[in-house]
């Protein structure tokens, strides 16, 4: 049950959002046991984001998931998200942060896992 939120200070057109969601749907499988079936994505464009004192294009990715994974898998997903930011939004890799958060509890349809 992963959740990925991408926030950028650039506007994001609907067709670009669709491509991002499709790409993340494939990339989430880099974490064993995770798939697009349970993936929720939030793409937020036009945010007031500043990095290194500048409003040049930047992106913050938050990846939350039920359970755990290891550093190697997180590295692969971080690379995929960074490449996606470069390819779909022309954001340099040096202006992309990716945060990972693991939780032992997650609920779906009113039921706790």
Q: What's the pLDDT score for residue 35?
A: 96
* Strands 96-103, 59-66: pairing kind: parallel
In which residue ranges of the chain is pLDDT below 50?
A: none
Q: What's the pLDDT score for residue 113?
A: 86
Place of tokens 């984001």: 49
Q: At what angle do helices 71-89 and 14-27 cross, to 10 degrees?
A: 160
Q: What's the pLDDT score for residue 82?
A: 98
Q: At 3, list the tokens.
A: 């959740």
């Amino acid at each position: 049950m992963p959740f990925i939120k991408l926030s950028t200070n650039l506007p994001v057109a609907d067709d670009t959002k669709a491509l991002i969601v499709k790409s993340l749907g494939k990339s989430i499988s880099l974490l064993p046991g995770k798939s697009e079936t349970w993936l929720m994505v939030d793409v937020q464009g036009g945010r007031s984001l500043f990095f290194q004192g500048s409003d040049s294009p930047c992106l913050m990715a938050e990846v939350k998931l039920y359970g755990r994974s290891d550093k190697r898998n997180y590295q692969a997903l971080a690379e995929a998200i960074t490449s996606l930011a470069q390819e779909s939004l022309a954001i340099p890799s040096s202006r992309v942060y990716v945060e990972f958060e693991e939780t032992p509890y997650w609920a779906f349809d009113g039921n706790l896992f």
